[in-house]
Structure 1
Amino acid sequence: MFAIAATYFFCPTKCPIDPRPLNIKRLYLPFTPWLLSFQSSIQITSPMYPETKKRSEIKTLEIPKRLDIVIGACRFILLFIIVTQFSINWVSGDLIVRKIFGPEVPTGKYKHPCSFDELDNGDLYLAYYGGAGEYASGTVVYGARLNQESSHWSQPRKIAGNPFRSLGNPVVWQGPDGLVWLFYVTRFGDTWSTSRIKVKISRDGAVSWSDSALLTIEPGTMVRAHPIVLQTGEYLLPIYHETGHDTELVGPDTTSFFLRYNPSNKKWSSSKRIRSDHGNLQPAVVQVDDKHLIAYCRRGGGYEPTTEGYLIRSESRDGGHTWGKGGNSSFPNPNSAVDFIKLRSGRLLLLYNDSMNDRTPLTAALSSDNGKTFPHRMNIASGRDSFAYPTVVQTRDGRIHVTFTSQERTQINHAIFNENDLLLKSDNKKL
C-alpha cells in the first residue's frame, strides 16, 4: 500500500492527451496522472471520438503550474489518507490490533468469548461460541485457524453443537503431548447456573475432533481460562461454580476452583474452592514455584456503578490443592473476565479492564517480582467501546498475542506486542 502511494506521489506531472478535444475536467482529476503512468499501454478515449489511441501515439502536454500545485496537494492528501488507514492497526509503538471476525461473518451476530492457542506446527487456532445472543437457543462453538504462513484467518466452522442445548465459553489448548483440548459448557436451562463442562480432543492439530464427553456433573460448573502445566507434569484447569438465576447478578456463593489432570493415569481430581465475600468466578492461574500458585478471579456482585469493584486474588501454598480466601487486589474489575500467564522470562502478565464499572480500557500489566508489584502497564484497547474477555498467549517467537471481543460482543480482535513494549512503561503501582 505504501508502494502504491509512493508511486502515485512521485509520478511526473505530465498528462498524456489526445490532441483532439477531450473533457479537460476529467483529465485533470488527480488520479489520472498516476493511473496513466502506471501502465505503458493504457488507452484513452475522447468523448468526441470514441475510437482509442495507444499511449505511444499520444502526445504529452505540460500541466499549468497552478494545476500542478493543486494536483500535488491532492496527492499529498491521498497519501495521508492511505497511510492513516494502513496505520489504524497500530495503536501505539509496536502494538498491533486487528479485527478477526465481525458481524459480517455468518455464524450469528454474537461472537463471544474467544479462546485461542498456538499449535505445534506454528498455526494459531481459536474457538468462540456464536448465535443470536448470549442466552439464545442453538448457540454453537466455532473454530478457525491462522496458518503460520498466512495473514488471514480461515472461515469459522462448527466444531461443537447440540440440537437440544445451547453451548458457550469454549477454551482451546494444546498440551505438551500434542493433544488439542476443547473445553466448553452446555447449558441445560435458561441461565448459566444450569451449565456443565464438556470436553473434546483432537489428535491431528485441531483438524478433526472426538465426540464430546461430560467433564463435570455439578450444575453451574463452567470454564473460561487455559489450563497450565504444573511442575509435576499435571494439568490444572481453572473452572468455577456459578449460582443463582439472576442474569444481572453473580451470587456471593459463586466460587472458583481447579480440576487437576494426571496424564499418566488420565484421572481428574478437584481442588478446594476459593471463597470471597461477594463471590468470584473465572479464575486465571500461574505457578510461581513448586508449591506457590497465584490466581486472579473476576469479582462477583452486579453491574451497577460501584467504588468497591476489585479483582479477587487468592494464593495456594501446597501446589494448588487448597486456596486461601479470596481478597480484593488493587486492580479494579467491572465484573469482567481477566487472563493471567507466566512468560518465558519468568515475568507475570495480567490482562484486565482498568475500571470498576466499564470494560474499557483493556490493560496489560507486567510483574518482575513474582506478582508483588506490577509497575509496567500498557493499554491494549481504549475508548467508548467495551473490550472484554482477553485471552493471552506467548508464541514461540516470543511475541505476545491477545484476543478479545468488542462492539457489543459482535467482533473478535487480535492484538500483538512484545514484552519490551511493556518494560518501557512504568506507573509504580503495586498489586
Structure 2
Amino acid sequence: MIRMLMLALALPVSASSWAAPRRDAVLLREFVYQQAPYPQSHASTIVQTRNGALAAAWFGGTHERSPDVEIWFARRDAKGWETPRSVANGIQPDGTRLPTWNPVLFQDPAGPLHLYYKLGPSPQSWWGMVVTSPDGGRSWSKPQRLPEGMLGPIKNKPVVLRSGAWLAPSSTENGSTWEWKLHFERSEDSGRSWTQTAPVPVDPEARFDAIQPSILFLPGGKLEAIARSRQGVLVAAQSADEGKSWGKLFAVDLPNPNSGTDAVTLKDGRQLIVYNHAAQQPDTPGKGRRYPLNIAISRDGVHWRPALTLETEPLPEGYAYPAVIQSADGLVHITYTWNRQRIRHVVVDPARLAG
C-alpha cells in the first residue's frame, strides 16, 4: 500500500505537462442546455440510438441527495439538443419522494433503448431501476425495479460481449467504513434477467477501494475494468472469461482525485479514457479537485499517454463524471458535469489525438 501511495504522489499532475498540442481534435463544444428548472445537475450519460441520433441523460434537482432530484433526458438532432424533460423521479406510492442517481443509457443492438438509474436515500441503500423506450427516447415505459440484489450499471455503460451477453459494470459502497468494491452484472437474455459476479479481489498488501468501473476490450479476447479509487490512482482488473471472473486490482499510471471516469475501446483498437488528471492526497479521505479534465490513450490499458486536455480553468465544482462513446461515424462524444450547473457535450476526432 505504501508503495502505491508513493506512486500516487509521484505522478505528474501539472495541467501544462499533460496539455495536448492538437486542439483541432475538438470538433464541437456545446452545452446540452442553457437554462433548467433546477440549480444543480450531475452524472451525465450519452448514447447513440438505433436511428443514429444522440441522446443524453443526467440527474438534476436542488442538490445531490435532495428528494426532488429527477432523471432528465434530451435528444440531439441536426438542429441541436431538444429541450430536456424529466423521464424518471423518486415519487413513491404514498406520495413521499426519494432522490434518483446516476443514470446510464444503453442501446440494445436489436431492441429498445434502456435507461438504468438508482433510487434511494444514499449510495449505501439505493437500488437499481430501469425504463425502456421503443422509439429512441420519445416515449418511456413505466419504471421497473431490477431483480433483488441487482444495482445495474452503476455509472458507466454496459457492453455487448462476443457471445452476445450484456455485461454491466457495477460497484457497492457498503458499511460504516465506506468499503468500496467492484462487481459485474451479466444478462444472457437482453436484460430480462441478471446474474452477479463475485466482488473483484483485492490484494491485501496493496488494498484499493474502488467503484464505478468502465469496461475495455483488450487484444486476445481479454477484458479490462478501469475504475476510480480512494487511493489517488486509477486502478484496473482484467478478465479472460468474458467477465465471469477477474484478477486482482492493480494501479495504472494515471492519478485520480476520487472522481468518476469513463473509458471506451476505439474501433482502431486503442483505449481512450476521460478523467481528471489530478491527484488526491492519500491521507485526505475527501474528494480532490476535479480539474483539469483530460483524455489519455493506451494500447494495453495499463500504460497511458496524454492525448488532449478538455478543460483547465479552475471552477468551484470543476468538471466531473464524464461519459464517452464512439459513434458509428468514428467520432468520440463526451458529456460531463460543468461546475454542477450544466452538462457539456464535446465531439472529438480520435484520428487527430496525440499519444
Output the CA distance in 2 between the equivalents of 1:264 and 1:184: 17
Matches within 5 A, 1:87-166: 92-95=23-26, 96-102=28-34, 104-106=35-37, 108-147=38-77, 149-150=78-79, 152-163=80-91, 164-166=97-99
How far apart are 1:216 and its partner, in Å? 4.6
Output the CA distance in 2 between the equivalents of 1:218 and 1:397: 38
Matched, 1:312 2:235: yes
What amino acid does structure 2 have at the position aligned with 1:175?
D
Question: In structure 2, the residue corresponding to 1:184 is in which secondary structure?
Answer: strand
Distance 1:220 1:348, change over 3 A: closer
Q: Which has the larger radius of gyration?
A: 1
Distance 1:289 1:320, change over 3 A: farther
What amino acid does structure 2 have at the position aligned with 1:325?
K
Q: After superposition, give the CA deviation of every residue in 1:350-387 in whole Å (9 maximum; x if it has no partner).
A: 111111132111111112x3324323421111120211
- Counterpart of 1:192 in structure 2 is 123
Instruction: Say whether the 8 Å CA contact 2:296–2:307 is kept in structure 1.
Output: yes
Structure 1: 5+ residue stretches without partners? 1-90, 301-307, 427-431
- Counterpart of 1:394 in structure 2 is 326
Instruction: Say whether the 8 Å CA contact 2:56–2:75 is kept in structure 1.
Output: yes
Matched, 1:363 2:294: yes
Matched, 1:181 2:98: no
Instruction: Say whether the 8 Å CA contact 1:111–1:410 is kept in structure 2.
Output: yes
How far apart are 1:222 and its partner, in Å? 6.6
Output the CA distance in 2 between the equivalents of 1:213 and 1:413: 29
Output the CA distance in 2 between the equivalents of 1:210 and 1:403: 25
- Counterpart of 1:299 in structure 2 is 229
Output the CA distance in 1 between the equivalents of 2:224 and 2:102: 22
Instruction: Say whether the 8 Å CA contact 1:287–1:293 is kept in structure 2.
Output: yes
What amino acid does structure 1 have at the position aligned with 2:123?
W
Distance 1:325 1:338, change over 3 A: same
Instruction: Say whether the 8 Å CA contact 1:220–1:242 is kept in structure 2.
Output: no
Output the CA distance in 2 between the equivalents of 1:139 and 1:122: 29
Give the alignment's Cα RMSD to 1 decimal.
2.1
Among all aligned residue pairs of Structure 1 and Structure 2, give the percentage whose two residues are the same amino acid.
28
Q: After superposition, give the CA deviation of every residue in 1:308-361 in whole Å (9 maximum; x if it has no partner).
A: 510111111222111122122211000011111111112111111111132111
Matches within 5 A, 1:2-401: 92-95=23-26, 96-102=28-34, 104-106=35-37, 108-147=38-77, 149-150=78-79, 152-163=80-91, 164-187=97-120, 189=121, 191-218=122-149, 223-244=154-175, 251=178, 253-263=179-189, 266-276=192-202, 277-289=207-219, 291-300=221-230, 309-356=232-279, 357-367=288-298, 369-385=299-315, 386-401=318-333
Output the CA distance in 1 between the equivalents of 2:221 and 2:199: 17
Instruction: Say whether the 8 Å CA contact 2:50–2:109 is kept in structure 1.
Output: no
Output the CA distance in 1 between the equivalents of 2:348 and 2:25: 6
Distance 1:126 1:371, change over 3 A: same
What amino acid does structure 2 have at the position aligned with 1:373?
H
How far apart are 1:289 and its partner, in Å? 4.8
What amino acid does structure 2 have at the position aligned with 1:145?
R
Output the CA distance in 2 between the equivalents of 1:180 and 1:290: 30
How far apart are 1:122 and its partner, in Å? 1.9
How far apart are 1:221 and its partner, in Å? 7.5
Output the CA distance in 1 between the equivalents of 2:89 and 2:295: 33
Count of matched residue pairs: 314
Structure 2: 5+ residue stretches without partners? 1-21, 92-96, 280-287
How far apart are 1:178 and its partner, in Å? 3.2
